[in-house]
Amino acid sequence: MYTEKVMEHFNNPRNVGIIADPTVLVQVGEPSCGDALLLSLKIDNDRIVDVKYKIYGCGAAIATASVASEMVMGLALDDVLNNITDQTIADALDGLPPEKMHCSNMAAGALHGAICEYRKTIAAKHPVPAN
């Protein structure tokens, strides 16, 4: 049912935890299956310099959070928004069963949501003056 890469990330998840002083912290969940993801990012110069997460869910949820954390480390925020999708996360694991694709969507959604939240916070701190 699961690929070797899914099982590797499930059995040995990477970047688990919470950053002590994160730039942004978001929580997402999928109530229909009970999965929940708490994602913390450290951002410097519009680039992800650290990522950690806590996940409650099935093996596919754990594996997608783990591989996604590796995929985005060091990336510019726009690269994450433009290139990290539920499909690219699933592809990085050599695929997921169709009924588990919502797990990769949760990981991609958390990343995109965290970046949007970060940018809203920055915009609120540094408003653009009216002409």
Q: So which residues are the catalytic ones?
A: 33, 103
Find tokens 């002409």 and name the residue. Answer: 131
CA 22 – CA 103 distance, rounded (Å):
23
Are the C-beta atoms of 38 and 53 separated by less than 8 Å? yes
